[in-house]
Structure 1
Amino acid sequence: MQENREQGTETFVVEGRNAVLEAFRSGRTIDKIYILDGCQDGPIRTIVREAKKHGSLINFVTKERLSQLSETGKHQGVIAHAAAYEYSTIDDMLKLAEERGEAPFLILLDNIEDPHNLGAIIRTANLAGAHGVIIPKRRAVGLTATVAKTSAGALNYTPVAKVTNLVKTMEELKEKGLWFVCADMDGEQMYDLNLTGPIGLVIGNEGEGVGRLVKENCDFVAGIPMKGQINSLNASVAAGVLAYEIVRQRISQK
């Protein structure tokens, strides 16, 4: 996140054609947009049209200038400065589930530090119909430009809440009827678990997995079958595998 000192407000850098288009389409306020001078292909023309429609300030700049502005190094010829992404609340997530007439499905992340993993998990959460993603304030990545780009626009639609204490949050959600399953290689095979109902899926750190206290507060520990020579999955892949087992069981229950 970069600070716009001229206006005293925070702005967020959105990079890449799809990410910028999704930001416009979701109704986000785009203050400025930087486009590679001379670029005239279809996606860029669409972005220019959206920028004019929404009154965004358009700047045509050199490749060198874009590289200076870029945080990800993968701007695809377009960078936008948007109003900062706002964190949601858990109450908003539960309300969203209620509005959809669905049992709450939340994804909780225990110290995910890689922005690419966080972005990919937010994308999976959106596609799997989860009502929100919960991250801790400390020892974890926040909503950076890389997260936004990796989420492929899902960050515009999927609520993300930041909490001080993950264990305390889980205890409070248990009182509201949720139960929790975490991913761990020593857990019971996920296909043998009942993953229906109001559920929180907990995914751990890329190297260490789920922390001891968080794991102790989970109702079930789910193991993903491993048939290869290595015994661990990338955090975002593990989240995807388990999230879609939850989706499968929910569909089967109908």
Structure 2
Amino acid sequence: MAGNDANRRSVKKKKGPLKGTGGHSRRALKPKGPTPKAEDRVYHAAHKRKVEKEIAEKKKAQAEAHRTRTSIKIAAGNELIVGRNAVFEAVDAGIDIIRVFLAGNALDERIGKVVRTATALGAPVLEVTKMDLENASGESAHQSIGIEVPEYDYCSAQDLLERTKENAQIPLIVALDQVTDPHNLGAVLRSGGAFGITGVLISERRSASVNAAAWKVSAGAAARVPVARETNLVRALGELKEAGCFVVGLDGGGDVSLRDLDLATGPLVVVTGAEGKGLSRLVRETCDQIVSIPISSAVESLNAAVATGIALYEVASKRAEA
């Protein structure tokens, strides 16, 4: 037996080709081509991201297409007022209504009054989508209602004085010097309505106008507080001074603190400059006094509308005490 084991170990393997496959694996040996990109392999995370991106782009394209198909077309010169409070206050003040736009089931007591008023005046009430209102107004917080109204009818500085004579009031006018943000104008109108001002004076150039944004922020006060627009603000301020008004400008480097303002009880024009720039040189020189609002040294300046609101509150307080 031992001899057999020795013989077995001594046997050498033959060299040369082994038995062939007979061609049955020839397909497996064919080249498979380049490896697909990761985003083209359905089981890969990159493919999922690709699909999500394509869906997002499709939705964006649909939104853009809808934006061009919006059913609200505001006539040139007209304005679109949106928001329940702004619309209701404007209609309640007797503003002319051209059309009413409603999105969805937005009816409540206030909107019901708007619809009834429009119907009585013969103004059409149209059903639109929320996207239509957003696209037409540029406001996402439109609260599903909007009205088309005529272009704002500005008056003159002299008209403001005539208004005070008719109402037997002491003039209190706010003049805005190069305030170009309509949101600030709207906020000033809202504060002015709260403190009973005569009106707001702006210039034709480098000044915000009473547009849709100003209407919205004013919460309807734009229908109650008149806005005068003059070609030259400095000349208009001079005419108001000749008519007996004192002109005070709000500025951080004023000579008089607002708390010590002695001119508050007389005919007054409060001038507010643009945030950052402040009062322009000629307007500053026209003012009888430059008044500052005491604030913390940690804050450089106040927003134009905020500063105006504080000044009007102080003036109203002094007049109430007089």
TM-score, normalised via structure 1 length:
0.92
- Superposition deviation, residue 250 in structure 1: 1.1
Change (3 A) 1:40 1:246: closer
Distance 1:100 1:59 in 2: 39
2:265 maps to which residue?
196
> Identity over the aligned pairs, expressed in percent?
38
Which one-letter code corresponds to 1:161 in the other structure? A
Match of 2:195 in 1: 128
Aligned to 1:251: 320
Shift of 1:69: 1.8
Q: Distance in 1 between matches of 2:99 and 2:78?
A: 10
RMSD over aligned CA atoms reads 1.6
Deviation at 1:39, TM superposition (A): 3.0
Distance of 1:58 and 1:30 partners within structure 2? 10
Partner SS, residue 186 of structure 1: coil
Report the counterpart of residue 235 of structure 1 in structure 2.
304
Provide structure 2 residue ranges, at least 5 long, that are not aligned to the other structure. 1-72
Q: Distance in 2 between matches of 1:41 and 1:244?
A: 34
Question: 1:108 is matched with which residue?
Answer: 175
Distance 2:169 2:114 in 1: 35
Q: Which residue of 1 is the match for residue 69 of structure 2?
A: none
Q: Tell me, what secondary structure is at the counterpart of 1:200?
A: strand
Residues in 2 aligned to 1:183 and 1:154: alpha-carbon distance in whole angstroms? 23
| Unmatched tracts of structure 1, length 5 or more | none
Structure 1's consecutive aligned runs of 4 or more residues displaced over 4 angstroms after TM superposition are: none
Letter paired with 1:122 = L
Preserved contact between residue 276 and residue 301 of structure 2 (Cα < 8 Å): no
Distance 2:205 2:277 in 1: 16
Shift of 1:3: 5.8
Who wins on radius of gyration, i.e. which is larger? 2
Q: Which residue of 1 aligns with 2:87?
A: 20
Among candidates 60, 65, 71, match of residue 138 of structure 2:
71
Partner of 1:186: 253
C-alpha separation in 2, matches of 1:98 and 1:46: 33
Q: Higher strand share goes to which structure?
A: 1
Offset of residue 228 of structure 1: 5.1
CA distance in structure 1 between the aligned counterparts of 2:128 and 2:209, rounded to whole angstroms? 29
Partner amino acid, structure 2, of 1:36: A
Q: For residue 219 of structure 1, what is the aligned residue in structure 2?
A: 288
Partners of 2:130 and 2:314 in 1: CA distance: 44
After TM superposition, list the pairs within 5 Å mapping 1:6-45 onto structure 2.
Answer: 10-45=77-112
Query: Secondary structure, in 3 states, of the residue corresponding to 2:238?
Result: helix
Aligned length: 248
CA distance in 1 between counterparts of 2:288 and 2:137 reads 43
Q: 1:180·1:199 contact (CA, 8 Å) conserved in 2?
A: yes
Deviation at 1:196, TM superposition (A): 1.9
Between the aligned partners of 2:179 and 2:108, the Cα distance in structure 1 is: 37
Inter-partner Cα distance in structure 2 for 1:27 and 1:74: 24
In structure 2, what is the equivalent of residue 62 of structure 1? 129
TM normalised by structure 2 equals 0.73
Q: Give the distance between the partners of 1:228 and 1:52, measured in 2 at CA.
A: 55
CA distance in structure 2 between the aligned counterparts of 1:250 and 1:139, rounded to whole angstroms: 32
Query: Does the 8 Å contact 2:74/2:148 carry over to 1?
Result: no
Contact 1:115 1:146 in 2 (8 A): yes
